[in-house]
């Protein structure tokens, strides 16, 4: 019985090797494979990336002379640099949304490094977490309402990039005022101001890098730093592209609405677009109509003509 099994195993591996050689030969003839074993092996090396010797977040230095800090940053750089598909998507989306986020942060006097906080929170997508946090900035319902974002079945301004970025900036400025550090303000965005305040007092320290925190918050700043490094110096990590590979933000104009809208399908058609395109540019409109019983003034984005082909 064992002899029979071994014969089948040998036959299986022999045939596998033959098929691999045939496939390799065919691919080599097409110019897609290296011509020698050495070239093949070299092409599949996985290389370590240099650990930065100096880095800052929001102009606050990262203590990279500390070996613990070096290792934690190195972990996040490796995780993000070798998750190439995700890293490329982050590059593309940051090119699309980064300038708008930067302009809002600058107007709110918040360091531009905080756009990388939005990147690690949501990947710059209007996602919903298992806990119910939503949008680019991943606001929970209660926190969103605390910072004047409207949240209901009809309208959810957590999905409004401009308004949610302004709300996030307000949260971060309040945290910076309390803790005296932008780095701790970023940590508080993840753990909550009460959580960071409690741990600072319990552990008797005043710096994020001196805190012992749970896994998520302990990695949080290092994930931001790794993404900042990768998106600001992509070529150093092997990412090659041209501007045509990046996503572009479609220019829009504002249409002011201060009444109810009974049918957004008909509303969209009046502006030469369809319902899908209207919702792409206004994901905060959660239903096919707008109640607006209070006659609140809303600003709806309508893409400029010529960017979409609509029958």
Higher pLDDT pick, 60 / 45: 60
**For residue 23, what pLDDT band results from cuts at 50, 70 and 90?**
very low
Contact indicator for 237, 46 with CB cutoff of 8 Å: no
Contact indicator for 219, 191 with CB cutoff of 8 Å: no
pLDDT digits (tens, 9 = 90+) for 109-148: 999 999 999 999 999 999 999 999 999 999 999 999 999 9
Per-residue DSSP letter, 53: S
What percent of the chain stands above pLDDT 90? 82
**For residue 3, what pLDDT band results from cuts at 50, 70 and 90?**
very low
Is the pLDDT at 168 greater than 80? The verdict is: yes
Strand partners, 254: 301
Over range 263-287, report the average pLDDT. 97
Rounded mean pLDDT of the chain? Answer: 90
Contact indicator for 305, 272 with CB cutoff of 8 Å: yes
Higher pLDDT pick, 40 / 96: 96
How far apart, in Å, do the first and last CA atoms of the chain sit? 69
SS3 302: strand
Higher pLDDT pick, 279 / 21: 279
pLDDT at 68: 97
pLDDT at 51: 87
Contact indicator for 137, 167 with CB cutoff of 8 Å: yes
pLDDT at 311: 66
DSSP 201-266: HHHT---GGG----HHHHHHHHHHHHHHHHHHSGGGGT----GGGS--PPPEEEEEE-S-BS-HHH
Element (H, E) at 50: none
pLDDT at 41: 59
For residues 64, 67, 69, 72, the Cα torsion angle rounded to the nearest 10 degrees is 130
What percent of the chain stands above pLDDT 70? 86
Please, which contacts does 173-182 make with residues 24 or more away whose CB atoms are closer than 8 Å?
173/108, 173/109, 173/110, 180/206, 181/60, 181/207, 181/208, 182/57, 182/58, 182/59, 182/60, 182/111, 182/113, 182/114
For residues 86, 87, 88, 90, the Cα torsion angle rounded to the nearest 10 degrees is 90
pLDDT digits (tens, 9 = 90+) for 178-227: 999 999 999 999 999 999 999 999 999 999 999 999 999 999 999 999 99
pLDDT digits (tens, 9 = 90+) for 77-92: 999 999 999 999 999 9
**For residue 53, what pLDDT band results from cuts at 50, 70 and 90?**
very high
pLDDT at 35: 65
**For residue 43, what pLDDT band results from cuts at 50, 70 and 90?**
low
pLDDT at 45: 75
Distances (CA, A) of 138 to 32, 106, 125, 189: 43, 20, 10, 10
């Amino acid at each position: 019985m064992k002899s029979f099994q071994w014969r089948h195993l040998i036959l299986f591996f022999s045939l596998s090797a033959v098929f691999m050689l045939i496939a390799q030969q065919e691919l080599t003839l097409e110019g897609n494979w290296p011509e020698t074993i050495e070239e093949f092996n070299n092409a599949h090396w996985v290389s370590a990336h240099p650990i930065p010797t100096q880095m800052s977040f929001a102009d606050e230095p990262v203590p990279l002379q500390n070996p613990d800090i070096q290792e934690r940053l190195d972990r996040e750089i490796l995780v993000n640099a070798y998750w190439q598909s995700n890293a490329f998507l982050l590059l593309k989306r940051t090119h699309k949304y980064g300038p708008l986020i930067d302009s809002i942060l600058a107007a709110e006097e918040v360091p531009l490094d905080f756009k990388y906080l939005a990147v690690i929170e949501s990947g710059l997508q209007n996602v919903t977490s298992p806990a119910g946090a939503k949008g680019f900035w991943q606001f929970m319902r209660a926190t969103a309402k605390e910072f004047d974002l409207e949240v209901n079945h009809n309208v959810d301004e957590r999905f409004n990039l401009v308004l949610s970025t302004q709300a996030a900036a307000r949260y971060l400025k309040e945290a910076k005022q309390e803790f005296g550090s932008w780095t701790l303000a970023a940590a508080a965005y993840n753990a909550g101001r009460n959580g960071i305040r409690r741990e600072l007092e319990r552990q008797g320290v005043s710096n994020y890098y001196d805190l012992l925190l749970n896994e998520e918050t302990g990695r949080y700043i290092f994930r931001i730093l790794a993404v900042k490094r990768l998106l600001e110096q992509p070529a150093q990590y092997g990412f090659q592209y041209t501007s045509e590979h990046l996503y572009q933000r479609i220019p829009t104009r504002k249409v002011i609405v201060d009444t109810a809208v009974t049918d957004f399908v008909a509303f969209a058609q009046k502006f030469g677009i369809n319902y899908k395109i209207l919702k792409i540019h206004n994901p905060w409109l959660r239903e096919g109509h707008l109640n607006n019983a209070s006659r609140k003034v809303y600003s709806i984005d309508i893409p400029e003509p010529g960017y979409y082909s609509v029958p």
